Structure 1
């Protein structure tokens, strides 16, 4: 008998995501992903000053804070031929790295770890054994018997009161949980520690960008001024504090995040064969190693992998009309030339035509358009973007940093490279790249300090800031690697104003509906064959969805095979 599970909403960057999955014989046989909210920032930007676009698009997301603003200034600079001073690129890189460190740690502990860690089971742990285990995998100082006893007692009070607080919405006791009680207690303790740590690393954004979330950016550089002896500028004290925050972050990632990731993964090796999905991966590349914009220096290399073939990495060119196209066959939009064609973003259109049922509705009519997300394709191929794509491309290209961390992880877990193509691999890749970013951040800091010592304090290039110097028409593209994957902003400028602006964001690649050929996108493909022990407690579905890093989790609505409401299940993070 086939059952249909409806996950709605799952809050994402663009708004709300709805996932419907059909279960047969305990596994998902088909799935549909639908974006159920539209914001149309593209239309809001028309007619505005291109130099202001970053402030609007930065509000796309407050979790991956700054990444859209950074990509926006890049697209304007590309259109106008503006070269950014090396110091500005280095500061942008430092903010980028701080964002990754924050975003990945928050995802692992607060948005995903509880899919694997049973909080209530931690009450059964022996604090002495927990302490011994913690000390065997890490040098992190908070690992005494007394420390874990205190954590356990705090949770015990919640349980006895009948109110689990932030841990109230979970599937505790679900048979899919496999961790020993002591590992559960370690994960729980570090969940709480990560809550304290995450509020520190974001201060890097505030120091250079003035605030967080949504720090300030500037077309042509950065709005902050280096003035080592001036209390109002980026002075020696603030630079030293940035170094402290970065070092603190690196220690937390290496001594807490990575050991926990590897410990938990060792009990879920079977998930190395679940959730692989498309097998096609794409990254635009990012993070110049030397303060330039030269893609050859990117620490995150660009490329495309098809059909899980790591022996060949294809080049990607976001400017070519026949490479990046967005389709609307199954989207609630119209194109002037009809729904069957694909448009390159420079020719992109955002004309809504909602043809779906009136909300709330029981289930999607997937025989017609069923999403507000467009369907992007690379040379006609559906692609997965994100940490797994970045790590696989770096690994396939033989980049030493990626080879080292990936091979070490595979060896420690004693699994083959094919295990990377999975829900587990996607989760592990996020941690591995976070480890690299923490190292790179300190390198960028050293480069910035070296430039300052040599007397270079330039932070902005304003040569082309005057619109009277611009051409009558110009177009540009800014690319980047947001924490959740390949991101591109396309701009058309006419007479000094924005004539067209299109965002092709990671969630569009991963969560979009089928294209005209019936090809599933990453979410839909990854859910296939995912086991589901109990449709009323769909923990396994949440695991695979969360491995892509959804920003928040909301309510899961359960319907039987006849569309009748069974129950509403609250999910962690609500």
Structure 2
């Protein structure tokens, strides 16, 4: 989804194509839907079991679990009978060896939740599995399928006609409305309450996992066109050294801002390993110099990764939900500031807790809460445009290659759920001359640069206490965050 949008934006930027407002709203609806789906699935099905002990849930009292859940949520499934049914499922699952979870670190001293909270979290893990397959139908309505819904250079690949069977008609728009309402309930009555409940037992994790002090956001949700990032819901910019008084502008076309290095990467540049290349001048020439597989260690090898190392003005950057919240907070976006302050108040933790594993995990929840608000707003705006028949979803002005200039170059930026994503394209005589991507994983997971500076993943692990080296659940928590 995000790569499809980034590639469309790159071509549109290169050729000067303006997307119709209705198409922009649909793109925003699809992006907000992705954010919500991604964050819910991330918490329950990737990250939750770093904090939740499945086996310990067997000790829970279902009645007490229901009372506890009812104290912070109106979710109608939070009943003693339901939690008892889930507990029975866990018993059968455990009796058969726990399946894919057999190698979990259950009983590890780093797990701190009481049995009832563990049971609530496992129950909602199962609920989320069912719910997540519903919200993606929004992508199927507007993009034809999920995963990997269709996008279109110049707009979106769907037409709107409330009376046409083959178009986005009244029935499909009403379906989207119902799915948004269901998502609103799940996010605000299940996901956010669970996140806050679990976080309240792990406040000490506000001290660990901070890592880098630099944050980059590409910005997202254009409201006046992709060419006006100042009107984005999430602003584009950089915060350096956690200085919230200044947001530095980002120009992805400036050859001196974003560069990729290969001092520790299995690639070669014509200018040598010390060169840093802007993506428009980027080279991707594989040059593996590591040991012959299979091997047990890369120790002693200067190069140790297939990831290049991107830097912004020579600075390593963290990207992701926390980064975009930090940039938006520093940029003075009041909706972000109010939500962050309210959440810190509920948890009774200082603002410094944001810069941690706990803060990063909470940031995903806040990101989803904002996306939920904006999704409802975008849908409302779409319906208003439909009412006045402003339903153009495609600009075909430069569809034919014969209308293109001989040479063109563009950048497509997307603030993906996992962070800053960018595609750079150079077009020569109607064909792609060079195409380079810098994705969230390369920002966060790249190897050291020539100066020996770590990137975000590794930097965030420094100082993390680990109870058992052979069961490093603490390390997994930070990496998953």
**TM-score when scaled to structure 2?**
0.98
Give the drift of 1:153: 1.1
Whether the 8 Å CA contact 1:87–1:291 is kept in 2: the answer is no
Indicate the SS of the match to 2:221.
Answer: strand
Name the residue aligned to 1:169: 103
Structure 1 segment 10-21 matched on structure 2, within 5 A: none
Whether the 8 Å CA contact 1:90–1:291 is kept in 2: the answer is no
Name the residue aligned to 1:424: 358
Whether the 8 Å CA contact 2:19–2:225 is kept in 1: the answer is no
For 2:398 and 2:236, locate their aligned partners in 1 and report how far apart those are by CA, in whole Å: 29
For 2:268 and 2:53, locate their aligned partners in 1 and report how far apart those are by CA, in whole Å: 46
Query: Please, which of 157, 174, 198 is the counterpart of residue 264 of structure 1?
Result: 198
The Cα offsets for residues 353-389 of structure 1, whole Å up to 9 and x where unpaired, read as 0001112211113541111100000000000000000
1:126 aligned to 2:57?
no
Name the residue aligned to 2:21: 86
Query: Please, which of 357, 360, 383 is the counterpart of residue 291 of structure 2?
Result: 357
Name the residue aligned to 1:345: 279
Whether the 8 Å CA contact 1:303–1:314 is kept in 2: the answer is yes
For 1:152 and 1:99, locate their aligned partners in 2 and report how far apart those are by CA, in whole Å: 31
Name the residue aligned to 1:100: 35
Whether the 8 Å CA contact 2:290–2:301 is kept in 1: the answer is no
Name the residue aligned to 2:426: 492
Aligned length: 481
1:180 aligned to 2:121?
no
Indicate the SS of the match to 1:477.
Answer: strand
Name the residue aligned to 2:335: 401
For 1:258 and 1:356, locate their aligned partners in 2 and report how far apart those are by CA, in whole Å: 44
**TM-score when scaled to structure 1?**
0.83
Name the residue aligned to 2:398: 464
For 1:485 and 1:542, locate their aligned partners in 2 and report how far apart those are by CA, in whole Å: 19
For 1:467 and 1:366, locate their aligned partners in 2 and report how far apart those are by CA, in whole Å: 51
Name the residue aligned to 1:192: 126
For 1:290 and 1:145, locate their aligned partners in 2 and report how far apart those are by CA, in whole Å: 49
Whether the 8 Å CA contact 1:383–1:522 is kept in 2: the answer is yes
Indicate the SS of the match to 1:83.
Answer: coil
Query: Please, which of 176, 188, 202 is the counterpart of residue 136 of structure 2?
Result: 202
Give the drift of 1:291: 5.8
Whether the 8 Å CA contact 1:109–1:194 is kept in 2: the answer is yes
For 2:330 and 2:293, locate their aligned partners in 1 and report how far apart those are by CA, in whole Å: 45
Indicate the SS of the match to 1:409.
Answer: helix
Indicate the SS of the match to 2:426.
Answer: strand
1:374 aligned to 2:308?
yes
Cα distance, 1:134–1:114 mapped onto 2, change above 3 Å:
same
Query: Please, which of 478, 490, 498 is the counterpart of residue 412 of structure 2?
Result: 478
For 1:190 and 1:290, locate their aligned partners in 2 and report how far apart those are by CA, in whole Å: 38
Whether the 8 Å CA contact 2:319–2:444 is kept in 1: the answer is yes
For 1:142 and 1:256, locate their aligned partners in 2 and report how far apart those are by CA, in whole Å: 10
Name the residue aligned to 1:563: none
Name the residue aligned to 1:225: 159
Query: Please, which of 310, 317, 322 is the counterpart of residue 256 of structure 2?
Result: 322
Name the residue aligned to 1:238: 172
The Cα offsets for residues 28-53 of structure 1, whole Å up to 9 and x where unpaired, read as xxxxxxxxxxxxxxxxxxxxxxxxxx
Higher fraction of strand: 1
Query: How well do the aligned residues superpose, as a CA RMSD in angstroms?
Result: 1.0
For 1:167 and 1:136, locate their aligned partners in 2 and report how far apart those are by CA, in whole Å: 30
1:143 aligned to 2:70?
no
Name the residue aligned to 1:565: none
Query: Please, which of 389, 395, 405 is the counterpart of residue 323 of structure 2?
Result: 389
1:278 aligned to 2:221?
no
For 1:366 and 1:275, locate their aligned partners in 2 and report how far apart those are by CA, in whole Å: 27
Whether the 8 Å CA contact 1:487–1:506 is kept in 2: the answer is yes
For 1:442 and 1:525, locate their aligned partners in 2 and report how far apart those are by CA, in whole Å: 37
For 1:434 and 1:290, locate their aligned partners in 2 and report how far apart those are by CA, in whole Å: 22
For 1:302 and 1:220, locate their aligned partners in 2 and report how far apart those are by CA, in whole Å: 22
For 2:132 and 2:420, locate their aligned partners in 1 and report how far apart those are by CA, in whole Å: 24
Higher fraction of helix: 2
